């Protein structure tokens, strides 16, 4: 789930409701019923997402799950997958992430999970394209007012701009402490 969110930048509800029928050779279909804005849209599958989907498929085979969901609720030992078949939940995802942070000794920070990954992908697209509209469209957003919230100034971007303006090499910026945009 983390890989899919970190490569595609979709909203968590859409990702949780991804079904195998929505995975095509080169794109994902995000269904209107699970999209916050009520839109059905497609998105190219990134390489990291292919790895995530292959991992999900491996777990599916290992667990003997044959339902529609890419990210499904794990069954309890005493139950089979049947009428209670449902996708993984937001709370299940957040609990698993928090447990992983604890095991790894990573300090928990609010807003670093799914929505933080969404902003990261938008910023990565913006860095690559210099196109704020494309950055928002890639993550399934159409409201340009979100650009102020999602697209933050990055030191790397500013150094790249200076380099292009002056036609000279500019040293790579030193990493800063704290959360980057």
**What is the DSSP secondary structure assignment for residue 39, as one 8-state letter?**
-
Mean pLDDT of 2-25: 95
**What is the DSSP secondary structure assignment for residue 27, as one 8-state letter?**
E
Residues 38-47 have pLDDT tens digits of: 999 999 999 9
Residue 80 tokens, joined = 């089979």
The tally of CA atoms less than 13 A away on the side-chain side of residue 158 is: 7
**Residue 176 contacts residue 159 (beta carbons within 8 Å):** no
Q: Is 140 exposed, middle or buried (0-12, 13-18, 19+ CB in 10 A)?
A: buried
pLDDT greater at residue 154 or residue 94: 94
C-alpha to C-alpha distance for 25 and 121, rounded to whole angstroms: 21
Residues 123-140 have pLDDT tens digits of: 999 988 889 999 999 999
C-alpha to C-alpha distance for 163 and 160, rounded to whole angstroms: 5
In sequence order, what are the residues at sequence separation of 6 or more whose Cβ sits closer than 8 angstroms to the Cβ of residue 48?
A: 3, 6, 7
**What is the DSSP secondary structure assignment for residue 127, as one 8-state letter?**
H
Residue 48: the pLDDT is 94
Residue 136: the pLDDT is 93
C-alpha to C-alpha distance for 15 and 4, rounded to whole angstroms: 8
Q: What 3-state class would DSSP assign to 166?
A: helix
- Identify the weakest region by mean pLDDT among 90-99, 108-117, 135-144: 108-117
**Residue-range domain boundaries for the chain:** 1-108, 110-181
Residues in the chain: 181
> Which is it for the CA torsion 52, 46, 40, 25, positive or negative?
negative
């Amino acid at each position: 789930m983390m890989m899919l969110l970190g490569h595609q930048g979709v909203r968590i509800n859409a990702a949780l409701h991804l079904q195998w029928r929505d995975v095509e050779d080169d794109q994902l279909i995000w269904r209107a019923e699970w999209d916050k804005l009520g839109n059905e849209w497609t998105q190219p599958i990134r390489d990291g997402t292919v790895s995530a989907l292959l991992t999900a498929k491996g777990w599916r085979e290992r667990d003997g799950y044959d339902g529609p969901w890419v990210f499904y609720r794990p069954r309890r030992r005493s139950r089979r997958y049947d009428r209670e078949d449902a996708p993984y939940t937001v709370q299940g995802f957040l609990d698993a992430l928090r447990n992983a942070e604890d095991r790894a000794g990573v300090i928990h920070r609010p807003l670093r999970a799914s929505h933080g990954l969404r902003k990261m992908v938008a910023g990565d697209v913006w860095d690559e394209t210099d196109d704020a509209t494309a950055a928002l469209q890639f993550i399934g957003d159409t409201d340009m007012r979100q650009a102020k919230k999602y697209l933050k100034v990055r030191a790397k971007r500013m150094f790249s701009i200076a380099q292009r303006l002056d036609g000279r090499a500019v040293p790579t910026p030193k990493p800063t402490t704290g959360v980057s945009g």
